[in-house]
Each structure stands twice: as C-alpha cells, then as structure tokens.
Structure 1
Amino acid sequence: MHDRIVVGLDGSAESLAAAHWAAREALLRGVPLHLVHAEEWPSPSDLPVPTGEVRRHWAQALLTETADELRASHTELDVGIRSLDGRPAAELVGVAADANMIVLGSRGPGTMTGFVLGSVGMAVIRATVRPVVMVRASEDAVPRRDSRHAAREVLVGVDISRPCDALLTFAFEEAARRACALHVLHSWSLPPLVGYGAAYDPRVHAQLEMSANASLGDVLEPWQDKYPDVGVISRASAGHAATELVERSSEAGLIVVGRRIRRSSIGAHIGPVTHAVLHHAKAPVAVIAHD
C-alpha cells in the first residue's frame, strides 16, 4: 500500500470541503494528498472536440487552483494532482486501490432532511475495500487556521454479535491521532413480547441492557489495552442503530460505520444502518469495508 489520501474533486462546494478535510487528515497521518478529477468525456460524434478541450482545461485549472489553495493553508503538505478520462467512480477506485483512504464530497440537503449521497459516492463505496469518507459542505469541513480537525469525538457503531477488527482499528487509530474521545455505540432490539402491554417487565429490560453493556465491554477490552491513551465512552441500549448514530452525529467530528464485504454475483451491498447514516448524519462519515 502506498501511503496517501485520494480526494475526488468535481468543483462542487462539497468536494472542495472534502479536499480541506482530507488535507487535515493527510497532515495528521503524515502522508501526501492526491487530488483527482475524473470525467467521462463525450466522443467527438456527440459534441464538438473544442467542448471536450474546454472541459479538460477547466479540470486542470480546478485541480491546480485547489492544490495551490491547500498548499497556502498547509505549507508542509505534499499535494499532487491528476486528471483522468473515464467513469468517475471506476477511475477513483482504480487510482486509490492502494491508498490509505478515499475522500469524497456528499451533496447538500436541498429541501430534504439529511443529505443526499451522490451516485458516484455510492458506487465508490460499493466497489472499493479502502476506507471511504463522505464529507458534506459544513462549517467543520471548511479551512481552519490551526490546520486541525474540529475538537470533537469519534463516534463508531458496532455490532457485538459480529465484532470487526478493521472497524475498531480504524476508529481507535482516528481517536488516537486526534487526541479525542471515542464514543462506541451498540444498539439492540428487545425480544418481540417484552414491549407489549402486561408482558413488559422493566426488570427484564434492565437485565438485557446490563448483559449487552457487559458484552460490549468484553469486545472493547483488548482495544482499550492496545490504545490506553484513548478515552472510551461505550453504551449499549435498546433501539435502532441508525437512529442512535444520527442523533449523536451533531456532536461528533467523525462517524465510523462498517460495510460487510459480500462476494456475491449480484454485487456489493451497503447495509441499512450504514445507508441511513450516510444520508442523514451531520458529520463526516467513514465507511470501513470488512469481512
């Protein structure tokens, strides 16, 4: 693997915010930043050749100007640029096949609640096993004078029935780099009969919650031993995982969720929790592919 962070740049406010977020992340990791613009150009039979040339000049200017802006803000940052012809998702996945991370902008909310994940972003997430971070054009994503991420916790959602080393490794390492707390959430569902009328027993609920929190503590114990400087806040509660993560997202600097790698003839799948968090969270979202 080549140590570098790849950013997809298309000129939108979201992609520019992603570039600034990625620049701070590259400085934290001490790795170069690569700005990439990819576009599937029309063939000469579709549009006059000069139109394609104009677009290429525009893409080169976008990359150069953004790189210059980032270098001015972060004098120690190593920034490279690359313009590619082809389908954006496929080109980005190919370029970043051996990178540390891919960072993309996510479209703004418009009249909807939450933000709308673009087709390129969703295609990249499905096609790569590299960590993908989706960034919206928010206050925390724009340039910062101190060249650091906002001082907010890292939030990670885990499933204790299927703990994932890749997910926890990423979350703990991010919290360690940022010198911030790591908030670990696990949500579980009540048995079907527990919540119905006279069948509901608060003692059963309390016992289930105590058991879930003990299990979560067991999962996290080796990670806390490995990262003793990371302050961990863990909580297991009854409810829907996506709802819990979205509600906490306004207090987080980064949300970490998983995508299970499914080797199927029908293609990759993004689970419902990750899908909901990507569309509605208020903080950058890192999607970690894992077995």
Structure 2
Amino acid sequence: MERLLVVGVDGSADSLRAVDWAADEAATHNIPLRIIHASRGERYTIANTAASIHPGTIQMESHHVMDHATKRAFLRHRSLRISSVILNEFPIAALFRASQDAYGVVIGSRGWGSEARPRPLGTVAMTVAASAMSPVVVVREIGREPGKRFHRVAAGIGPAQGTEAVLEFAVRDAALRMADLEVVYGSYPYPTDCLPESHARHISACDPNEAEPILERVLRERAPFDDCPRVQRRFVRANPTDAILQASSAADTLVLGACRRDSHVGMQLGRVSDAALRNSSCPVILVPYA
C-alpha cells in the first residue's frame, strides 16, 4: 500500500503554512497528500465554555476549514492526489494514529489555542513531534521571503543510536531536493559523564569517529541513483544547540533525530530538538529512532 503524507489543519495561519509545505513536499516525492482536521475540542480554548458552541456550528466550521485547506493545496499543485477527512477526535490522537502508516506527518508549530498566547510551540505540535511513529515536520513562521530557497539541507548528528536514521533520511531528502547537505557534528566542550544520567541522556553529543563511517556507507548506497548530494561536514565543539540553529539559518530543512522511549516520564524530546522546534529558521524534520 502506498504511504501518504499527512498534514493536520485547524484553520490557523501556521496550519495553512503546513498545508503549503506539505503540498510542495508531496509533489516533490510524487506521493498522495491526506489532509486531516480533528474537530473534537476544536476552538474550545478560544471560547470560554464549550457549551456556548453549538455542535452544528462546529461541523460547519470544520467543513469550511477543510474546504479551504483542500482548495489551497489543489491550487498549489493541480496534479496532486489529495484526500481529506474530518475526524471527531482530539488532534493529538488523530495525528498519532495517522502516523503509524504514514510517510510523514506535517503540522504547524501553533494552532488556534496557541495563537491566543505568545509562545513559539503549541501543545499539539510538541506532543506529536515527541510521539509520532513516522517522521514529523514542524512548520513555523520564520520571517523569510516567500519562496526563498537555499538549496541546502542541514542535519544535526547527536547520539550514536540515532545517527543512521537521521543520515539516511537527510541524504535522501537532499537528493530529492537537488540540494547540498550540511552535516553538523556537535559535541559539548566538556565531559558529560560527570552529569546525572537523567541529564546526560538528553545531551545530543556526537562522536564523529562513529558517525563518519555511517555517512560514507549511506552515500555509497545512494551513488547508483546519480543524485548523491554534495556534503559539507562541520565539526563543532561547542553547545550543539547553537550550532544547529546557526545551520538552520541557511537551510531549507533541518533534520534531527527523535528517540522514541517506552516511558512517558520525563522529557520526550532532547534539549537540542526542543530548542530547534522553538527557534529554528526553517522547517524541522524529526526522524524517529528506537
């Protein structure tokens, strides 16, 4: 079965930016786009009481949101295969379920509830990014000129267990975009073995000696396709967060790893991933690994 690229929409400005990005991405990859609107609880955070919203009003608004998003994607790429669905579910549950067999999930950084408060990352975006089973793309307003492209993909390499998944995705993404790939190896300038385990496991330090052979293998496997991207390596012995954010300022996408843990206690995203979602200058793609 052909996998779909899924995008969640609630009518907010960021969700419509996500629709634009997802439509472009689906066209690039030549895969179908599915637009999901999960209407349960929608806009309750804006109205003071859910009882004040008539169910019929919610249904009408849901269809309006979906019609607008679908038309927007179609006008952007008229040959795109688009399907849409309105679900009576909470957005987090709907997008998590959709991620289980999706090519990827695209969401805006903030929805209606977050737009009412000055914060860079909404609850839905944070939770889906931390738990989805497929790659997740978080699209945020970044203040760039519309359509501006750097023809560069940035990848941040952290813990060894996530290196292969991140590099495979980043190399493929750069090849499809006909872009260069910048690989940032970031490590802290001080030892982390002196930190408590609860802190150390969230620090995305990298050993280039372990990561480089993986990158070389991934590039060799891509070589027969004649679209292997040019690779620039950057070794940074400083705060990895600063290096990653700097790389995002001249990239079209930023690819990072996201560990999927069985435990729901503690941070579900590392410090670098969390900072990137809030401050990156380009869309952030989180690639899950176990």
Amino-acid identity (%): 27
Preserved CA contact (<8 Å) 1:257 1:286: yes
Preserved CA contact (<8 Å) 1:89 1:120: yes
Q: Report the TM-score, using the length of structure 1 for normalisation.
A: 0.81
Shift in CA distance, 53/141, structure 1 to aligned 2, threshold 3 Å = farther
User: What are the equivalent positions in structure 2 for 1:114-263 lying under 5 Å apart?
Assistant: 116-138=120-142, 150-159=149-158, 161-162=160-161, 164-191=163-190, 216-228=211-223, 229-263=228-262
Shift in CA distance, 261/268, structure 1 to aligned 2, threshold 3 Å = farther
Which consecutive aligned stretches of 4+ in structure 1 deviate over 6 angstroms post-superposition? 108-112
Give the aligned partner of residue 34 of structure 1.
Answer: 34
Letter in 2 for 1:23: A
Residue 241 (structure 1) shift: 1.0
| 2-structure distance, mates of 1:276, 1:93 | 22
| 1-structure distance, mates of 2:129, 2:208 | 31
| 1-structure distance, mates of 2:63, 2:150 | 34
User: What RMSD in Å do the two structures reach over aligned CA positions?
Assistant: 2.9
Deviations 1:14-73 (A, max 9, x none): 110100000010011111111111122499x9526x712111111111111221222122
Give the aligned partner of residue 80 of structure 2.
Answer: 77
Preserved CA contact (<8 Å) 2:156 2:183: yes
Segments of structure 2 that go 5 or more residues without pairing to the other structure are 192-206
| 2-structure distance, mates of 1:289, 1:68 | 31
| 2-structure distance, mates of 1:220, 1:87 | 39
| 2-structure distance, mates of 1:140, 1:226 | 34
Preserved CA contact (<8 Å) 1:153 1:175: yes
Q: Counterpart of 2:51 in 1: which secondary structure?
A: coil
| 1-structure distance, mates of 2:166, 2:91 | 26
Give the aligned partner of residue 55 of structure 2.
Answer: 52
Segments of structure 1 that go 5 or more residues without pairing to the other structure are 193-211
| 1-structure distance, mates of 2:50, 2:122 | 25
When the two structures are aligned, how many residues end up with a matched partner? 264
| 2-structure distance, mates of 1:93, 1:126 | 10
Give the aligned partner of residue 278 of structure 2.
Answer: 279
| 1-structure distance, mates of 2:262, 2:39 | 28
Q: State which structure, 1 or 2, has the greater radius of gyration over its C-alpha atoms.
A: 1
